[in-house]
Amino acid sequence: MSDGRVTLAQSVAQRAARKMMRKAAPGRLAAVAATLVLSVLGSAAALAAPTATSPAAAPVAATAAATTAAPAAELVLLGVAGGPTWYGADSPHGISSALVVDGKAYIVDLGSGAYRQLRRAGIKPGAEQAVFLTHLHTDHIIDLASLLMYDPSARRRAKASLQIFGPGRRGALPPLAAGLAGDPVIHAENPGAGTADLVDSVVAGMAADLNIRVRSEGVPDVRGFFQAHDIPVPPGVVQDPNTNPAPPMDPFEVWRDERVTVTAILVPHGLVYPNFAYRFDTAAGSVVFSGDTAVSPNLERLARGADILVHEAIDPAWVDHIVGPKPWDARQQALARQLLEAHTTPQQAGEAATRAGVKRLVLSHLVPGDAPAAHWLSAQDTFKGPVVLGQDLMRIPVMQIPLTQAVKQP
């Protein structure tokens, strides 16, 4: 079995371990945990075959005792669920990731629970340098308000405002899908609001609370602690977002500082526009975030040769279940089309990683979040490098190191 399969096997076993521990009687939890952890580590060590890039498997005790210096750049998966995040007791948190470089955090998307996950991951208030929103679907932005409104004093101590980047205004709305009745337009004066509009609306909606705190508690004016930026799409690229929202294009630079250079490209996600994938280049290596996307040559161009590709995945079997029995009516057809034509199966994600020539594939934005781990295994059929099934609070060094030290399970 390849080292990629061992990594995914560890992920599968870890999930199974947690489920079994929850079902065990309280007095048996410690014994169950010890047995399962040894089983996971032992299986991984036994299955790992020597390769050109990884050493022969070490004994379990040696593996457990191995220590390495903290990586200069580390990917932290804060939440790995796409869409609604409450699937039951095993539900992961909403989609959000952090790239931590020399102690500074760069956040990609802020799904449900992302703020608390930042703190659970040990990312302290004020360490966040910038937020990059791939698009403005609710499951990617719902916790933005928490990050903006909490800990204003931390931003003052950091002496740097939080930079927020994301899509600008959409422009004309798409036509109503065939077979759908009525044509309600929400917030008709600006129906395709962008990132700057979103941030302004968060502040406006909380004005009563903020003004009272300024006057009664001396809380600073939060507006000085963050700046929102609509990312302009290069001119001439998109002719009509309602017919082709992600035409072929070259990546373009969004932002840089002394630690990272961030580039973006448009990727297709139904009629969502603009919808970005991001690449972060650091001295330690490169990480690409697909955001929500269908199969996309643009994404593969952006991800060319990256150290890590964090790619979304949807379980096709779940789509049939959620849409309902066939034949489908117009509403069901529209829902199925949105789910299947706007997302990527695990097998397709593996194919994209192969074509892009990336070193490692990390599956995240899992839809549904509670699908059995085995449902994602088809990514291994189409990508022969390491495949990691994302879990909440998983930490992955950007610089590739031996498998047994490469992934810190939550």
300-347 confidence digits (pLDDT tens): 999 999 999 999 999 988 888 889 988 988 889 888 888 888 999 999
**Percent of the chain, pLDDT > 90?**
61
Instruction: Answer whether residue 185 is part of any domain.
Output: no
Instruction: Answer whether residue 322 is part of any domain.
Output: yes
Helix 207-217 with 195-205: angle, nearest 10 deg: 60
Domain shared by 49 and 77, yes or no: no
Q: How far apart are CA 334 and CA 325, in angstroms?
A: 14
Q: How far apart are CA 5 and CA 15, in angstroms?
A: 15
* DSSP secondary structure letters along 210-227: HHHHHHHH----GGGGEE
Say whether pLDDT at 119 is over 80.
Answer: yes
Q: How far apart are CA 279 and CA 18, in angstroms?
A: 33
180: left (phi over 0), alpha (psi -120 to 50) or beta: beta
Q: How far is CA 408 from CA 11, 58, 111, 186, 392, in A?
A: 11, 17, 22, 44, 11
Domain shared by 3 and 99, yes or no: no
Q: Give the tokens for residue 152.
A: 């204003």
Instruction: Answer whether residue 25 is part of any domain.
Output: yes
Say whether pLDDT at 158 is over 80.
Answer: no
The pTM assigned to this predicted structure is 0.82
Q: Are strands 387-389 and 226-231 parallel, antiparallel or unpaired?
A: unpaired
Q: Are 321 and 335 in contact (CB under 8 A)?
A: no
State the average pLDDT over residues 26-32: 32
Domain shared by 37 and 166, yes or no: no
Domain shared by 155 and 33, yes or no: no
Q: Are strands 360-367 and 308-314 parallel, antiparallel or unpaired?
A: parallel
* Structure confidence at residue 342 (pLDDT): 92
Q: How far apart are CA 296 and CA 140, in angstroms?
A: 20
Q: How far apart are CA 175 and CA 338, in angstroms?
A: 15
Which comes out higher in pLDDT, residue 69 or 300? 300
CA-based end-to-end distance of the chain? 24
Q: How far apart are CA 28 and CA 193, in angstroms?
A: 53
Domain shared by 221 and 273, yes or no: yes
Going by the DSSP 8-state scheme, the letter that residue 339 receives in this structure is: H
Q: How many domains does the chain have?
A: 2
3-state secondary structure of 391: coil
* Structure confidence at residue 110 (pLDDT): 98
Say whether pLDDT at 18 is over 80.
Answer: no
Taking only the tens place, the pLDDT of each residue in 48-57 is 222 222 222 2
Domain shared by 291 and 379, yes or no: yes
Residue corresponding to tokens 């509403």? 331
Query: For the chain, what's the residue count?
Result: 410
* Structure confidence at residue 11 (pLDDT): 54
Residue corresponding to tokens 């990390």? 362
Beta-ladder partners of 164: 131, 228
Q: How far is CA 399 from CA 273, 307, 313, in A?
A: 33, 7, 24
Which comes out higher in pLDDT, residue 124 or 334? 124
Q: How far apart are CA 342 and CA 344, in angstroms?
A: 7
Domain shared by 14 and 102, yes or no: no
Domain shared by 157 and 199, yes or no: yes
* Structure confidence at residue 69 (pLDDT): 53
* Structure confidence at residue 15 (pLDDT): 55
Which comes out higher in pLDDT, residue 341 or 401? 341
Q: How far apart are CA 153 and CA 176, in angstroms?
A: 46
Instruction: Answer whether residue 67 is part of any domain.
Output: no
Domain shared by 47 and 89, yes or no: no
Kindly give, in sequence order, each residue whose CB lies less than 8 Å from that of residue 266, ignoring residues fewer than 6 positions away: 233, 237, 238, 245, 246, 247, 249, 273, 274, 275, 276, 298
Q: How far is CA 65 from CA 18, 34, 276, 391, 404, in A?
A: 22, 16, 41, 23, 11
Lowest mean pLDDT among 81-85, 163-167, 244-248, 341-345: 81-85
Write out the residue range of the structural domain in which residue 3 sits: 1-62
Domain shared by 137 and 211, yes or no: yes
Domain shared by 166 and 89, yes or no: yes
Instruction: Answer whether residue 176 is part of any domain.
Output: no
Q: Are strands 128-132 and 104-108 parallel, antiparallel or unpaired?
A: parallel
Say whether pLDDT at 230 is over 50.
Answer: yes
Say whether pLDDT at 37 is over 70.
Answer: no
* Structure confidence at residue 275 (pLDDT): 99
Q: How far apart are CA 194 and CA 201, in angstroms?
A: 11
* Structure confidence at residue 406 (pLDDT): 55
3-state secondary structure of 311: strand
Judge if the upstream peptide bond of residue 327 is cis by omega within 30 degrees of 0.
yes
Torsion angle of the four alpha carbons 306, 311, 316, 320, in this order, in degrees rounded to the nearest 10: -160
Domain shared by 29 and 160, yes or no: no
Average pLDDT, the chain: 83
